[in-house]
Structure 1
Amino acid sequence: MRPRLRDLTELVRAPAALTVPGDVLAGAAAAGRRPDLSTAVLAASSVCLYWAGMALNDWADRDLDAVERPERPIPSGRVAAPVALGTAVALTTASLGLAAAADGRRALGVAVPLAATVWAYDLWAKPRPVGPAVMAAARGLDVLLGARAGRTRSALPAAATVAGHILAVTALSRAEVTGAQPWLPRTTLAATTAVAAATALGARPARRNGTGRLHRLGVVGGLLAYGATAGRTQAEAVADPSPGTVRRAVGAGILGLIPLQAALTAGAGALRSALPLAAAFPLARALSRRVSPT
């Protein structure tokens, strides 16, 4: 039986892919790269790899999910395990092809290690102590994918900021099923605060044509939304580290990446790239009520 489109959408957590293009845009902005067609294709490459990672995650966890989350597409029988694996392979191939078409060897030099990191996380690192660090490395590389040739170093601070956020969210996600010890959400909340502070301190808005104030407002607005989303739910998890509260904090942490990316992009002087991210945030929140991002 062929899976329905709705089931495949749930398998790859399709709406959560709205959290991905901002990585590329933040990297491009930090490296002084203007958004163009090649940037859009790199963003599409990133989305394909994100979806591949989600499909591979469920394939790798199919036995565990049969016990802990039987409602998911594979254990529920709505998507066959070989179909999920084939989806992951096809989307990874598409991702690498798009990266090559967008920026040739330069992009492949980042996209290939990025794809290897995603597969290593799902197939090996996820249950191990190193798992959160591997996932953080993947999102850091995703930011570097947007940088232009010769300017990768300029995008390293933005990559480190996104990686720090993902490190905290991934560490917290390990307690989605069992609930967390109080120290864990406290630690992730502290990390979220540090990420916001680093973004604010690292902002270097343009001063030409009087646009510096608008860029600063973009940074402040993005960070306020970031705190109200990721920070608020992590604070709730500190007070109540039960599985349901932790799961909400993880979902909000995933969605909170969008306003963080917008703040980073505005802080690098690319307000035009930050505005679509700001517009995508409420859409991502609405869609997350239909398909869980976790």
Structure 2
Amino acid sequence: MRAWAELLRLPALFTVPGDALAGAAAASARPDRRTLLAIASSLCLYEAGMALNDWADRAEDAAERPHRPLPSGRVRPAAALGAACALTAAGLALAARAGRPALTVAAPLAATVWSYDLVLKGTPAGPFAMAAARGLDLLLGAAATGGRIGRALPSAALLSTHTLAVTTVSRQETRDGTPAAPLAALATTGALTWLLHHRPPGDRPSPRRRRPGLAAATTTALTAAYAATVARPYLHAALNPSPPLTQRAVGAGVRATIPLQCALAARSGAVATALLTAALAPVAQRFAKRVSVT
């Protein structure tokens, strides 16, 4: 069980539900049964990507990370590939149960996950594919809940930008790198922090959720938590871009996804959704002490 927890990077799983919840909030739709189906679909597709990632990287990991489940022999490559296929099928089936709009988003999301792991990961397009997957995951929540996907596009763009920065840093976590990637990620965090407080035209919470004081205060607090989670690790990785510090920066970037999702939900006026998502952060941190998220 521990080998599979490592293969699927269990702590990172807690960063997934917030995508659909933030998407529903941005689309001014209240979470319902279809939102839960979207979350379940996202969880399956996310874990499919994790299993497929290690299957595709098994030869590279044998040289650079021999302790990983596949090169160490604790999980068979065929089992990892079978799990990826089964989880992908389950994710698409759950999206179909949530409705045609959800399946319309889940299908390209699944295609992006497989394309990234099998083809794009080692190319310059790799980080952009990973960023697109996160953005589509947020839109999946908006589509499944019946909200207007167009309203969720700004939130999807912000989440995708964060993912792009983290993925770019992760490309040098197994070797000595340069300060450029963590410095760029640090600058991106600053830009996202600013943008969370400057809503673009047309991106407004619905009237029934409009509580300017409470929503603004919650957004400010959660945005600060987001920035605080990654600022120091990114800075340390920039000052010393060694594998250990880079891996810490990547882990912090993954964990920071949760407060970012919360801030996105709060700025859409869904304070309760934001606080519910925030409750996942300490659980993720607890599991991260036992199983690495990278």
CA contact (8 A) 1:27 1:144 kept: yes
Partner of 2:110: 115
User: Which SS does the other structure have where 1:66 is aligned?
Assistant: helix
Structure 1 consecutive aligned stretches of length 4 or more whose deviation exceeds 3 Å: 203-211
Displacement, 1:158?
Answer: 0.4
1:268 alignment partner in structure 2: 268
Q: TM-score, normalised by structure 1?
A: 0.95
2:153 is matched with 156
State how far apart, in whole Å, the 2-side matches of 1:154 and 1:259 are.
Answer: 20
Q: How is 1:211-226 mapped onto 2 (pairs within 5 angstroms)?
A: 211-226=211-226
Report Cα offsets for 1:52-72 as digits up to 9, x if no partner. Answer: 100000000000000000000
Of 40, 43, 49, 2:39 maps to 43
* 1:53 maps to 2:49: yes
Aligned counterparts of 1:154 and 1:185: Cα–Cα separation in 2: 31
1:150 shift after superposition = 6.3
Code of the aligned partner of 2:283? L
1:196 aligns with 2:223: no
Provide structure 2 residue ranges, at least 5 long, that are not aligned to the other structure. none
Structure 1 unmatched ranges of 5 or more: none
- Whether contact under 8 Å (2:48, 2:84) holds in the other structure is yes
For residues 109-258 of structure 1, what are the structure 2 equivalents within 5 Å?
109-148=104-143, 149=146, 151-202=148-199, 204=204, 211-258=211-258
**1-structure distance, mates of 2:226, 2:102:** 29
Contact 1:206 1:212 in 2 (8 A): no
SS of residue in 2 equivalent to 1:185: helix
Instruction: Say if 1:206 and 1:215, in contact at 8 Å, map to a contact too.
Output: no
Q: What residue in structure 2 maps to residue 289 of structure 1?
A: 289
Percent sequence identity is: 54
Q: Would the aligned equivalents of 1:196 and 1:223 in 2 still touch at CA under 8 Å?
A: yes
TM norm structure 2: 0.95
Q: CA deviation at 1:17?
A: 0.9
* Matches of 1:210 and 1:23, distance apart in 2: 21
The range that moved more, 36-45 or 257-266, is 36-45
Partners of 1:231 and 1:49 in 2: CA distance: 29
Aligned to 2:79: 83
Is the partner of 1:158 in helix, strand or coil? helix
Contact 1:205/1:212 (8 A) holds in 2: no
Does the C-alpha gap of structure 1 residues 207 and 150 become closer, same or farther in structure 2, counting only changes over 3 Å? closer
